[in-house]
Amino acid sequence: VAALQGAISNIDPRLARVGQVIGPDRVVITGSEMETYLRDWSGDGRGQALAVLRPATVGEVQACVRVCAETGLGIVPQGGNTGLVSGTVAEDGRDIVVLSLSRLNRIRAVDSANLTIDADAGCTLQAIKDASEAAGCIFPLALGAQGSCQIGGNVATNAGGINVLRYGMARDLVLGVEVVLPDGRLWNGMSGLRKDNRGYDLKQLFIGSEGTLGIVTGVGLKLFPRPENIETAYVGAASFEAAMSLLAVARRACSDMITAFEVMGSECLAMARLVDPAVVPPVGQNTPVHIIFELSSSRLIDARLLIETVLSEALASGVAIDAVVAQSQAHARAFWAIREDLVEGQARRGYHVRTDVSVRLGDVPGFIAAARKYIETQWPAWISQAYGHAGDGNVHFNVLPPENLAESEARRLGADVTAGLYDIVRAFGGSISAEHGIGRSRRDVFWAGLEPVQRNMLAAIKSAIDPQGLMNPGCLIPLAKEKT
Amino acid sequence: VAALQGAISNIDPRLARVGQVIGPDRVVITGSEMETYLRDWSGDGRGQALAVLRPATVGEVQACVRVCAETGLGIVPQGGNTGLVSGTVAEDGRDIVVLSLSRLNRIRAVDSANLTIDADAGCTLQAIKDASEAAGCIFPLALGAQGSCQIGGNVATNAGGINVLRYGMARDLVLGVEVVLPDGRLWNGMSGLRKDNRGYDLKQLFIGSEGTLGIVTGVGLKLFPRPENIETAYVGAASFEAAMSLLAVARRACSDMITAFEVMGSECLAMARLVDPAVVPPVGQNTPVHIIFELSSSRLIDARLLIETVLSEALASGVAIDAVVAQSQAHARAFWAIREDLVEGQARRGYHVRTDVSVRLGDVPGFIAAARKYIETQWPAWISQAYGHAGDGNVHFNVLPPENLAESEARRLGADVTAGLYDIVRAFGGSISAEHGIGRSRRDVFWAGLEPVQRNMLAAIKSAIDPQGLMNPGCLIPLAKEKT
């Protein structure tokens, strides 16, 4: 212990104080051990930090934060590190530590009468989902990283995913948060109440603030009764216009039981085939738009009849040109595998332009058409990939560089490709971040696009809650702007 | 005009500047005209103000606010003035003006493809609902005051009502806000996007802040397809425990199609009979708990069969002891009339203790039992009334004073009755304001119950956004505490 403590002290005497309060074995300083904490899933850059702190309790988190506040160490709070916008990847590590919540991984309580779950921030999303299912309920947040991402990170970044259409973003699923504030004080904002109109809704500040206002250490979440019937259809449509018409018809016909409405341009199938060369989509693979459409219901509702009726009407009216309803869970999983494989396939291609755009529902086809035309005319050797959560107006319009292009050159040009896409987003009044957040990789374009009044409000809130600017410095708000 | 301008100037020279920018006829100073702006629906007190400003455009609101900011006039923003917690009733009117949004009453746009509506803050909730219906959609917020209350006030107070169980509070229905900030600048936070994860979600600050951070001048709201089938049942249960069991069973059985689940203790029927002496409830009137249970669905779902199946199972299992499904819209309206009449009947009784409590769903029966016992033992001449939005854990536990008690004495004792009820709420970990807000009438008890860390955060946000403390002074935050 003394040797460890000495090694820590050699790196930075401030770390020695942290080691004294949480134990030197919880202060990670060796390069190989630190490496996984310094890159997020995007692989877009490697961060810097003096050390990684791994407290095991809320009290230890407070103790770490107090030392940092007293000694001027910046803190990058980190959950599963599955973000895509470098929100956990500090640019300058001289006065920075990463604080990992991984050891805070206890399910605190499941209350099936209240339809709530309380948990430590470091529980994986999958652990939350499993504990909910064990109580006959569901926690509906669902996204690719759910086995690794942590619920505190989901809340801090207001995560989205495939079930937002029915259940909302993480924000909509949070009833309470417990937060260690930048001075080390604990705010217990956990009530389990479904309605509570007492003053400013402080939890909203922390949800989606990407760790820049405090460290979420605990969350209270809404659960829902587990649907007994799930029906999944794979539908082909002639265009994104037709796909959005199907969505409108389906929403009107199915009350609020549509749990997912994912669209994929046919060009995405090639990416799925990189992962599974044998993949054959359930509808003709040249069908311009592929749709995965899922309904969930209680046992008293015949979800199969409902989805078949909706699809029959859609085929009769020409809104859909082909449709297959999954006949088994395995069949449904095969549909979803195509959606998952296309993401994995893009990753295997290496660097690519990745966007996370939202526009008004009626603008989804127009945005995709404009973006495709831009790539075809301005970047003819690059390949568009249009897919996403169409039910929310959220399009992941990605662009693959030419295969023979060196990565460094692709990244350099990719920045220009992205800038052009963001111009199109702006022209549609859309958002450059529907669900992934701002982090560091979108920070400058975000900040440049703000009206002064918005910048002032963001900076005022940051200063009000984190006057020293020690919480996730450089994330979301430019470093030099924090104090203005 | 000159005479008007002179009269305004005589009241306060600062008002003359306002008169110059919005016209002196928009500055109300005569007592009789001002009176309706100085009392809210609770009738709990009369406010004070130098004048009532009635700007007609967003630009005029900005002009008023700029003058106030420059001359140190506090502003009480006011919508339909239907609040119940004196949020619009200033205690000290020497440096205060009321700013009414009534003239800003334009529906800006209905986008049925995007399922959104944009509107001026001064539109009544009913006008929003009507415009939505005309487009084949619904805006689901529903509450007793909907013909008079204004949507800006609904958003500023995070209004609740009878459909929260399915659709959430006002907060959950807001996609964007337009706000005049305390310095007169306009923040346009209207995007119409269903997913937007760009930085702090600033609109959340203004929702539920009761006009203490700025003036909401415009709102963008989510709409839903209009349900084609609505089924309403009136159910009798032997206890609140049984009622909550019915809720749990029904939620599990009906997916998310339950739009209302209102409970009333049988004692409330006497209040309904004050309004309609002929009222006969559809279930035995001595049935301990009366429930109005409503389902809404699209045309492809047989809502009648669904509600009948749920109720049959509930009757068979003993969770319900009697149930009637409305056979016509008129029949359903008669059910709802009982619920509305009991509120009106209490109002006719004059002053009564009015609470707006929430507890965890599983605690609803225990809370009501404890509150009733408290009244029976401590205030035996007073009469409990337990009803509310049980689906959200929101109980309006009201208490009628003895009929022969003078109002002033009833109000004096009522404060003690309320304090005792709030002790019980606290023991259950509940909220003293589920949906009505804090305003001025609950401010001191709210503030006294806060942890220092919460007070600091509230005060820090208030100071960050409204450093002069001119927005709705004394509402939600004690006057002396604003600058701490």
- Averaged pLDDT for residues A463-476: 97
Asked if A480 has any chain B CB less than 8 Å from its own CB, the reply is no
Asked if A393 has any chain B CB less than 8 Å from its own CB, the reply is yes
- Phi-psi group of B437: left, alpha or beta (phi > 0 → left; psi -120 to 50 → alpha; rest → beta): left
Interface touch B309/A300, C-beta < 8 Å: yes
Give the CA angle between residues A207, A211, A215 to the nearest 5°: 90
Residues of A in contact with B198 (CB under 8 A): 431-433, 438, 446
Interface probe with B: pick from A169, A197, A363, most Cβ of B within 10 Å: A197
Asked if A475 has any chain B CB less than 8 Å from its own CB, the reply is no
Interface touch A429/B191, C-beta < 8 Å: yes
For B198, the closest of A166, A362, A446 (CB atoms) is A446
> What is the secondary structure of B149-207 as a DSSP string?
-BHHHHHHTT---TTHHHH--HHHHEEEEEEE-TTS-EEEE----S---SSS-THHHHT
Interface touch B393/A191, C-beta < 8 Å: no
Backbone angles phi and psi of A215, in degrees to 5: -115, 115
Residues of B in contact with A194 (CB under 8 A): 164, 358, 361, 392-394
B470 CB-near residues (< 8 Å, 6+ apart): B68, B69, B72, B73, B74, B75, B182
Cα separation of B323 and B290, whole Å?
10
Residue A144 C-alpha, separation from nearest chain B C-alpha, in angstroms = 18
- Nearest Cα residue in chain A from B189: A454
- Averaged pLDDT for residues B286-311: 96
- Residues shown for chain A: 484
Residue B4 above 70 pLDDT?
Answer: yes
Cα separation of B50 and B28, whole Å?
9
- Averaged pLDDT for residues A274-303: 95
pLDDT tens digits for range B186-241: 999 998 999 999 999 999 999 999 999 999 999 999 999 999 999 999 999 999 99
Backbone angles phi and psi of B180, in degrees to 5: -90, 120
Residue A401 C-alpha, separation from nearest chain B C-alpha, in angstroms = 27
Q: Environment class of residue B286 by beta-carbon count within 10 Å: exposed (0-12), middle (13-18) or buried (19+)? A: exposed
For B225, the closest of A224, A251, A476 (CB atoms) is A251
What residue type is assigned to position A358 of the chain?
Answer: S
pLDDT band at residue A1, thresholds of 50, 70 and 90? Answer: confident
Asked if B389 has any chain A CB less than 8 Å from its own CB, the reply is yes
Interface touch A300/B438, C-beta < 8 Å: no
**Residue given tokens 């669900």 in the structure block:** A435
Residue B13 C-alpha, separation from nearest chain A C-alpha, in angstroms = 30
Residues of B in contact with A257 (CB under 8 A): 255-256
Residue B426 above 60 pLDDT?
Answer: yes
Residues 204-223 of B with CB under 8 A from A: 204-205, 207-209
Interface touch A193/B436, C-beta < 8 Å: no
pLDDT tens digits for range A125-138: 999 999 999 999 99
Whole-number pLDDT of residue A58: 98
Whole-number pLDDT of residue A482: 45
pLDDT tens digits for range A416-438: 999 999 999 999 999 999 999 99
Backbone angles phi and psi of B384, in degrees to 5: -70, 145
Helix axes of A364-378 and A407-427: crossing angle, nearest 10 degrees: 140
Asked if A251 has any chain B CB less than 8 Å from its own CB, the reply is yes
Q: How far is CA B197 from the centre of its chain?
A: 28
Please report the ipTM that was assigned to this predicted complex: 0.96
What residue type is assigned to position A473 of the chain?
Answer: P
Percent of residues, chain A, with pLDDT higher than 90 = 95
Residue A481 above 70 pLDDT?
Answer: no
Number of residue pairs across A and B with CB atoms under 8 Å?
A: 256
Residues 310-349 of A with CB under 8 A from B: 310
pLDDT tens digits for range A327-348: 999 999 999 999 999 999 999 9
A278 CB-near residues (< 8 Å, 6+ apart): none
pLDDT tens digits for range A56-96: 999 999 999 999 999 999 999 999 999 999 999 998 888 99
Q: Are B60 and B104 in contact (CB under 8 A)?
A: no
Helix axes of B2-11 and B13-22: crossing angle, nearest 10 degrees: 140
pLDDT band at residue A394, thresholds of 50, 70 and 90? Answer: very high
Residue A107 above 70 pLDDT?
Answer: yes
Pick the closest to residue A111 from A148, A151, A152, A139 (CA basis): A139
Residue B482 above 70 pLDDT?
Answer: no
pLDDT band at residue A483, thresholds of 50, 70 and 90? Answer: very low
Q: Which H helix or E strand runs over B431? A: none
- Nearest Cα residue in chain A from B463: A464
- Out of B1-5, B12-16, B389-393, pick the least confident: B1-5
Whole-number pLDDT of residue B484: 40
pLDDT band at residue B78, thresholds of 50, 70 and 90? Answer: very high
- Averaged pLDDT for residues B33-46: 90
Asked if A198 has any chain B CB less than 8 Å from its own CB, the reply is yes
Asked if A377 has any chain B CB less than 8 Å from its own CB, the reply is no
- Averaged pLDDT for residues A447-463: 97
Cα separation of B204 and B181, whole Å?
14
More confident residue, A93 or A394: A394
pLDDT tens digits for range B410-423: 999 999 999 999 99
Cα separation of A452 and A454, whole Å?
5
Rounded to the nearest integer, the mean pLDDT of chain B is 96
A319 CB-near residues (< 8 Å, 6+ apart): A237, A242, A245, A246, A249
Helices (H) and strands (E) in chain B, counts: 17, 18
Q: How far is CA B453 from the centre of its chain?
A: 27
Cα separation of B424 and B483, whole Å?
32
Strand B394-400 relative to strand B383-389, pairing: antiparallel
Whole-number pLDDT of residue A484: 40
Percent of residues, chain B, with pLDDT higher than 90 = 95
Cα separation of A96 and A102, whole Å?
18
Residues 51-90 of B with CB under 8 A from A: none
A369 CB-near residues (< 8 Å, 6+ apart): A240
Asked if B484 has any chain A CB less than 8 Å from its own CB, the reply is no
- Averaged pLDDT for residues B424-449: 97
**Residue given tokens 């208490």 in the structure block:** B399
Whole-number pLDDT of residue A42: 86
Pick the closest to residue B208 from B275, B138, B156, B153 (CA basis): B156
- Nearest Cα residue in chain A from B227: A255
pLDDT tens digits for range B142-180: 999 999 999 999 999 999 999 999 999 999 999 999 999
Asked if A419 has any chain B CB less than 8 Å from its own CB, the reply is no
Residues of B in contact with A160 (CB under 8 A): 195, 197
What residue type is assigned to position A165 of the chain?
Answer: L
Interface touch A434/B255, C-beta < 8 Å: no
- Nearest Cα residue in chain A from B458: A200
CA A421 → CA A44, A323, A374, B432, distances in Å? 19, 32, 8, 49
Asked if B427 has any chain A CB less than 8 Å from its own CB, the reply is no
